[in-house]
Amino acid sequence: MDGLQPEPAGGVGEVAGNAEEKYRALAYDTALSTLVAVALYVVLKVSLDGFRQWRARISVLVVGSGPVGLTAALVAVRSGKVLKLTVLDQRYRTALLCRPQQIALDPRSVSFLLGLGVDFDNMEGCWHNEHFFTRIGVFQEYLLSILEQKKQKVEVKVQLGTKFTEEYLQRIPHKEWPRVIVVADGSCGDSCSVLGISPDYIVESCHAYGANASIERLDQRQVPTPEIRAHSLYFDLSAYGVEALREHRNTAAKSGFHLKIYGTFRNRYMALVCPASDTKMVRYLRHTANSSIMKNIFHESFNAYKTDIEPRLNDVTLHHMQCSRRLFEIQLSHRRISAAYIEGDNVAVIVEGEAARVLNFDTGFGINLGMRGLESVGTFIYRTATAVDQNDVLEALSAKMQHSKQVAEVFKQTGLTESMYE
């Protein structure tokens, strides 16, 4: 018994301590390994997702080759996510490019188009107060030339004289169906009905009354010209039994009438508008049965505010003037459903331009309203091309529809102010 040596103090504690250190080291190594594995997985997944998104390319069909349709086509090819682009229009090239109308692009539309690579210095037109004025055919010809140049990177096909119908869709092999269809065939187009999109519109008042007039003078030049605006106009209608009373002017409102003269010298257009009111003159001009009153108002207004280098309207030219018979309520109609998803064929459809929203009053700035809707098309095409599943596409469509409604709401509130009152 006396020969036994006692165990060293703390021996059991050292063993427990070593075990605890080994456990901690093992837990640390395990956690570190797990962290490295998770990090590698995340890096790999992000890399693969990024690679997939980088490679993602889709086929896009644009129905309508007006200014909005061709701009939508340019947005599509500039998105970098389009493999094949087809532009369809039932009109032939001559009918498409020879229209006499002039378009006016406001600074916001100019900035948008500059971002798409449009070089206004190489387009026939003129500048005035940061607005660009050109003929509609010139603008379309320019955009078509840009699309032709894009054929090196994107398969671009422009099919003029081809109507969008159910038969046209049936002729497309199912594996070649477009992933996105942009409908921009105007207010009279029927492409939406072919695709089963609801024809219902929401009609909202712009709280104003207006009238339009146009005249063609074949002896004048077909060149773009800046617009002319005149404000706070009152008319002497005493010859018709209506006194030109400046009734209780509201200083907070834009008083009187606002006149715009626009278009080329050959094709002149006029717009007359006033904020909604119940003055004696407004009531008379809204309900009069005398169609010559509005014609005389436009006649005298044009001669008073025309440019110095163009001739006055005389009795002969007055006879050829086309104009509204009376003042009418200005209303904006926008499509209740402006985007749709064809589930079986995995096709996303968006509606743009006058096919989506249209004003019953011509301000000469209608193209800009269409451009507003195109501002979200690039993002929509990117999101659709890189969508992982159907939910991603539906979210992109929902955002696009929300933007379309916002465009209508903003125009209803400020559109006439920007295009007529200021």
74 and 191 within one domain: yes
360 and 282 within one domain: no
| Contact by Cβ (8 Å): 393, 348 | yes
Confidence of residue 6 (pLDDT cuts 50, 70, 90): low
Residue 121 sits in a domain whose CATH number is 3.50.50.60
413 and 265 within one domain: no
pTM over 0.75: yes
pLDDT of the residue at 254: 52
Q: Which of 342, 225, 241, 250 is nearest to 290 (CA)?
A: 241
Domain count, the chain: 2
Where is pLDDT greater, at 207 or 21?
A: 207
191 and 314 within one domain: no
Residue 204: how many other CB atoms lie within 10 Å: 14
Q: What are the structure tokens assigned to 389, written together? A: 């599943």
Q: Which of 237, 238, 256, 254 is nearest to 246 (CA)?
A: 256
**Whether pLDDT at 12 is above 80:** no
pLDDT of the residue at 272: 97
**Euclidean distance between CA atoms 56 and 243, whole angstroms:** 68
Phi then psi for residue 132, to 5 deg, are -115, 130
Q: What is the pLDDT of residues 263-301, one digit of tens each?
A: 999 999 999 999 998 888 899 999 998 989 999 999 999
pLDDT of the residue at 87: 96
pLDDT of the residue at 52: 47
Q: What is the pLDDT of residues 182-235, one digit of tens each?
A: 999 999 999 999 999 999 999 999 999 999 999 998 888 888 899 999 999 998
Residue matched to tokens 């798409």: 116
**Whether pLDDT at 245 is above 70:** no
Task: Note down the domain range covering 302.
Answer: 203-330
- Count, in order, helices (H) and strands (E) of the chain: 13, 16
The mean of the pLDDT values for the chain is: 88
**Euclidean distance between CA atoms 295 and 286, whole angstroms:** 14
Q: Quick check: helix, strand or coil at residue 348?
A: strand
Q: What angle do CA 260, 262, 266 make, to 5 degrees?
A: 140
Q: Which of 279, 415, 283, 300 is nearest to 360 (CA)?
A: 415
Q: What are the structure tokens assigned to 15, written together? A: 């063993």
Q: What is the pLDDT of residues 315-349, one digit of tens each?
A: 777 778 999 999 999 999 999 999 999 988 899 99
Confidence of residue 244 (pLDDT cuts 50, 70, 90): low
Q: Where do the H-state alpha helices sit in 360-389?
A: 366-374, 377-385
- Of the three residues 273, 298, 330, the one that is the final residue of a domain is 330
Where is pLDDT greater, at 233 or 9?
A: 233
Confidence of residue 242 (pLDDT cuts 50, 70, 90): confident
Q: What are the structure tokens assigned to 357, written together? A: 């929203």
pLDDT of the residue at 101: 86
- Cα 257 vs. chain centroid, distance in angstroms? 29
pLDDT of the residue at 48: 47
Q: Quick check: helix, strand or coil at residue 298?
A: helix
**Euclidean distance between CA atoms 55 and 49, whole angstroms:** 10
- Of the three residues 315, 330, 345, the one that is the final residue of a domain is 330
When pLDDT is averaged across residues 85-113 and rounded to a whole number, the result is 90
**Euclidean distance between CA atoms 170 and 149, whole angstroms:** 30
Q: Which of 225, 304, 306, 318 is nearest to 263 (CA)?
A: 225
**Whether pLDDT at 259 is above 90:** yes
354 and 406 within one domain: yes
pLDDT of the residue at 252: 47
Q: Where do the H-state alpha helices sit in 3-84?
A: 11-55, 67-78
pLDDT above 70 covers a percentage of the chain that reads 89
- Of the three residues 279, 310, 330, the one that is the final residue of a domain is 330
**Euclidean distance between CA atoms 160 and 354, whole angstroms:** 20
Q: Is residue 70 part of a domain?
A: yes
**Euclidean distance between CA atoms 136 and 57, whole angstroms:** 31
Confidence of residue 31 (pLDDT cuts 50, 70, 90): confident
Q: What are the structure tokens assigned to 148, written together? A: 């032709």
Q: Is residue 19 part of a domain?
A: no
Q: Is residue 5 part of a domain?
A: no
142 and 111 within one domain: yes
Q: Is residue 13 part of a domain?
A: no
pLDDT of the residue at 180: 97
Confidence of residue 247 (pLDDT cuts 50, 70, 90): low
Residue matched to tokens 């743009």: 352
Q: Is residue 7 part of a domain?
A: no
Q: Is residue 121 part of a domain?
A: yes
**In Å, what is the CA distance from 226 to each residue of 133, 134, 220?**
6, 9, 15
pLDDT of the residue at 345: 85
Q: Is residue 98 part of a domain?
A: yes
